[in-house]
Amino acid sequence: MSKAVKTDVIMIGAGPSALAAAVYTTREDIKTTLLEKGVVGGLAAITDQVDNYPGFPEGVTGLDLADKLEKQAERFGADIQYGEVVSIERHSGHIEVKTVDGTEYEAKAVLIATGSDYKKIGVPGEEEFYGRGVHYCATCDGAFYRDKRLVVVGGGNSAIQEALFLTRFTSHIDLLVRSEIRASEVLQHELDKAVKDKKITVHLKTTTDEIVGVDGKVVKVIGTHDGHKKEFETDGVFVFVGLLPNTQFLTESKVELDETGFIKTDENLQTSINGVFASGDVRSGATMQIASAVGEGATAALKIREYLENPKNK
């Protein structure tokens, strides 16, 4: 068996939170390796346009933002490797991280910043038009649809909250709800007002079957209500049926998760395993915004430095 790769800190994931953390740790001469199983930059990298990240008055493409974060981290010595982590285990003198190809890493501390992924509805057109008419974040992309028609899919708290937010921009929203509205009473009251003002039309017991586009642009959604096909003309589709934290690799570990699979942390962003921290969208209570994920990454890096400097952890 090959010897384990030794480093000071392993960061699992290479999205904005991990990249920001790596800038801080590497500048402190803390040897840092990032393990990414997919795309450096995470969901940010596959977001068409980011308009709410500070410092970019004209906005920035998600790919460009991710590229700048990556180059900044590498400038200070961050080592970004591609590898899918399958296990984390605490030993007396180190933390062991294993990847799917059998590579073993030994680190003094670990940061889990694997983010989350949007739950998909799995219909034709959803993947094809992702970021080009199909969206999962109203705060990120709603302003692109000023005075446009939209379809919003979902009936829970997040769907109603985001639909209400989108009414600031759109001319009209068709809300497609598979069964019944499941939002809180307060949100339902706000929804009723939006319906009365003809800003939103609610379609209960309506499935979303297909997202149709012409010349690369979304033009309509085909759904089913009471066994009959219905078509909804639209300029874009926002899907809010939940988030899936990227924590599947932790199911056999001792990292404590909340009831929806997000990682629980204390006030120092440390998990239930000593020396293992979490930041960004994978953390329970996260706000799911790039700016806050970056902030949490910086905070986690400072907490990791404190942890490494503590004599009892040496």
Per-residue pLDDT reduced to its tens digit, 215-241: 999 999 999 999 999 999 999 999 999
Chain centre to alpha carbon of residue 126: 17
Q: Which of 7-11, 62-66, 125-129, 170-174 has the lowest mean pLDDT?
A: 62-66
**Is residue 10 classed as helix, strand or coil in its secondary structure?**
strand
129 in any annotated domain: no
**Predicted local confidence at residue 219, as pLDDT:** 97
Q: In terms of domains, do 171 and 188 share one? A: yes
Task: Report the CATH number that the domain containing residue 221 is assigned in CATH.
Answer: 3.50.50.60
Whose tokens are 């199983």? That residue is 37
**Predicted local confidence at residue 51, as pLDDT:** 80
Q: In terms of domains, do 43 and 114 share one? A: yes
Q: In terms of domains, do 20 and 63 share one? A: yes
Per-residue pLDDT reduced to its tens digit, 57-97: 998 888 899 999 999 999 999 999 999 999 999 998 899 99
Q: In terms of domains, do 278 and 181 share one? A: no
**Predicted local confidence at residue 139, as pLDDT:** 78
Write out the residue range of the structural domain in which residue 114 sits: 5-118+243-313
Model confidence band, residue 2 (pLDDT cutoffs 50, 70, 90)? low
Q: In terms of domains, do 170 and 252 share one? A: no
Output 63 or 297, whichever has higher pLDDT: 297
Q: Please, which residues bridge with residue 118 across strands?
A: 243
From 239, 264, 297, give the residue that closes a domain. 239
From 239, 269, 284, give the residue that closes a domain. 239
From 212, 239, 266, give the residue that closes a domain. 239
Q: In terms of domains, do 257 and 222 share one? A: no
Q: Taking 90 as the threshold, does the pLDDT of residue 266 lie above it?
A: yes
**Predicted local confidence at residue 117, as pLDDT:** 86
> How many structural domains are present in the chain?
2
231 in any annotated domain: yes
The pair of structure tokens assigned to 178 is 């598979």
Beta strands in 91-235 (DSSP E): 95-99, 104-107, 109-112, 116-118, 134-135, 149-153, 172-176, 200-203, 206-214, 217-225, 228-233
125 in any annotated domain: no
